[in-house]
Amino acid sequence: MKNRLFKFLLGILTVTSTLLVACGDDDSDDGAELSAPEIGTPTEITQNSFFIDWPFVEGAEAYLIDVATDDEFNDLLTSYDALRNGFSEITVTGLEASTTYFVRVQAVLRDVVSDYSNVVSVTTLSEGGNSGSDTFLKNAADFPVGMAVRSNRLTGQHEQILLDEYDQITSEYEMKMNIMYPSEGNFDFTSADATVDWAIDNGLEVHGHALIWHNATPSWVENFSGTDEEFEDMIEDYIKTVVTRYKGKVKSWDVVNEAFEDNTGALRNSVFRQRMGDDYIEKCYNWVREADSEVLIFYNDYSMVIDAVKRRAAINLMKDFIDRGVPVDGFGFQMHISYDFPGKDLIASTAKEVTDLGLLLHFSELDVRANPNNDLVALTNQRALDQQIKVREVVEVYNAIPEESKFALTIWGMRDDETWLVDFWGHPDWPLLYDSDFNTKKAHTGFLEGLD
């Protein structure tokens, strides 16, 4: 908002100074050169409008805006055929839903006109008239389909796709301890509340993730200065505060995430284990149950398909909890996998180890790396096809588990350019179901095929 006011004032100043110069010297614009505007990414996209802006072009007194339905600008909209606009931004209105538009802008000063800007394209949102479409994942699947979200990606095309395709959300990072409990005694639920409220308002379920995770522990907890007993009281208070706050809104919680070491299956020597003992996990599970008798309690971990030793350790813990009546309802296989590995049979047999225990199974963080060996600079057709097949296999496996074991299959991010994997591995990848322009990929087709 401030930005717009600033631009408005700057616009007036620019126009005024241009006029003053022009009044003082009639020939002042002779031979003047105007650089072409550079349009930024369109925002505030609705069914019938969108917003664009661009940095001021020095010397410009106005801009001419073209909007067309083709990128050659043959089919210009009558009201946006070199529409003159005094400011370096505009909300383009009166558009059709689900339609792609192309925009370009020129700067002008009297009879001097700049080159055209870059061309940007925007697809307006659909009317929701196709919400019954069976190509939407949630309509096609008999189990809940989930998506990892961020509180600042719940509008525009993100929101439309979430509403069309998904039954459930998981907060990608804003419901972790480092965000919700940044300093002792001070909770910050701003982003968590925004996410949960959005989901409830829109009829989506919320899977809570993750109360205790060694990788998202605030430093004040890592370096807690009190006694072990005080540490344990603090964790009990944290868990009960959060679970109580979202009681009736959050359906399930990953209570402890990634508690075991790779390959050895040893209990990870986190600050929680050091301060609370080897039985810290069951303590946490019991506190969740005391705070909310209904919420589903999950254990969640990665490499569950491929790391047999770690999986054995986690499965044994679950068995022990079930035998001793420690509350636990479900098990999350994160499913950060690759286009060529692991194989379908291994995914199926390891999933069965969980469902045989009578626990709910969540495929909780699915992404399928297309470039694990960094041999591609762009997603090839062949690799996109291979990825499609792997997604199909994962969905086939999940679809075939017993009905009573199904909880949800959650995808870890919407668009390829939003994945955590690129930062993590430091090279390109395209592991998700949408490309960076919100177009469905072959992997999306693979998901639907897996349900046949």
Contacts with ligand 9MR, 124-163, as mask; x by CB under 6 A: ----------------------------------------
Is residue 301 within 8 Å of residue 354, measured between CB atoms? no
Selection from 90, 95, 152 nearest residue 125 by Cα: 95
Which residue among 176, 310, 383, 406 contacts ligand 9MR (CB under 6 A)? 176
Q: Which of 61, 174, 205, 258 is catalytic?
A: 258
Chain residues 39-68 in contact with ligand 9MR, contact rule CB under 6 A = none
Backbone dihedral region of 36: left (phi > 0), alpha (psi from -120 to 50 degrees) or beta? beta
| Site membership for ligand 9MR, residue 173 (CB under 6 A) | yes
**CB neighbour list of residue 35: distance below 8 Å, 6 or more residues apart:** 57, 58, 107, 114, 115
| Min dist. Cβ of residue 307 to ligand 9MR (A) | 14
Identify which of residues 80 and 333 has a Cβ nearer to ligand 9MR in the complex: 333
Identify which of residues 405 and 410 has a Cβ nearer to ligand 9MR in the complex: 410
Contacts with ligand 9MR, 264-303, as mask; x by CB under 6 A: --------------------------------------x-
Total of residues contacting ligand 9MR (CB under 6 A):
10
Largest CA distance in the chain: 92
Q: Which of 205, 232, 353, 365 is catalytic?
A: 365
Supply 271's token pair.
């600050």
Identify which of residues 125 and 432 has a Cβ nearer to ligand 9MR in the complex: 432
Chain residues 392-451 in contact with ligand 9MR, contact rule CB under 6 A = 420
CA distance 382 to 97: 33
Query: Is 236 an active-site residue?
Result: no
| Site membership for ligand 9MR, residue 306 (CB under 6 A) | no
| Site membership for ligand 9MR, residue 172 (CB under 6 A) | yes
- Judged on CB neighbours under 10 Å (0-12, 13-18, 19+), 357 is middle
Query: Is 449 an active-site residue?
Result: no
Is residue 90 within 8 Å of residue 51, measured between CB atoms? yes
CA distance 169 to 450: 21
Helix or strand (DSSP H, E) at 289: helix 280-291
Task: Kindly write down the DSSP assignment for every residue of 8-38, as one continuous string.
Answer: HHHHHHHHHHHHHHHHH-TTTTTT---PPP-
Residue 145: strand, helix, or coil: strand
| Site stretch for ligand 9MR (CB under 6 A), options 29-37, 169-177, 190-198, 242-250 | 169-177
- Judged on CB neighbours under 10 Å (0-12, 13-18, 19+), 382 is exposed
Chain residues 241-260 in contact with ligand 9MR, contact rule CB under 6 A = 257
| Site membership for ligand 9MR, residue 334 (CB under 6 A) | yes
Helix or strand (DSSP H, E) at 445: helix 442-449
| Site membership for ligand 9MR, residue 21 (CB under 6 A) | no
Which residue among 66, 164, 205, 365 contacts ligand 9MR (CB under 6 A)? 365
Identify which of residues 73 and 173 has a Cβ nearer to ligand 9MR in the complex: 173
| Site stretch for ligand 9MR (CB under 6 A), options 40-48, 110-118, 170-178, 245-253 | 170-178
Task: Say how many CA atoms lie within 13 Å of 107 toward its Cβ.
Answer: 26
| Site membership for ligand 9MR, residue 307 (CB under 6 A) | no
Chain residues 202-221 in contact with ligand 9MR, contact rule CB under 6 A = 210, 216
Identify which of residues 60 and 212 has a Cβ nearer to ligand 9MR in the complex: 212
| Min dist. Cβ of residue 210 to ligand 9MR (A) | 6
Supply 338's token pair.
């690759």
Backbone dihedral region of 44: left (phi > 0), alpha (psi from -120 to 50 degrees) or beta? left
Identify which of residues 92 and 210 has a Cβ nearer to ligand 9MR in the complex: 210
| Min dist. Cβ of residue 291 to ligand 9MR (A) | 22
Identify which of residues 14 and 410 has a Cβ nearer to ligand 9MR in the complex: 410
The separation between the first and the last C-alpha atoms of the chain, rounded to the nearest angstrom, is 48
**CB neighbour list of residue 11: distance below 8 Å, 6 or more residues apart:** 56, 86, 87, 88
- Residue type for position 96: E
Identify which of residues 334 and 371 has a Cβ nearer to ligand 9MR in the complex: 334
| Site membership for ligand 9MR, residue 195 (CB under 6 A) | no
* Interface ranges with ligand 9MR (CB under 6 A): 172-173, 176, 210, 216, 257, 302, 334, 365, 420
What are the residue numbers of the active site?
A: 258, 365
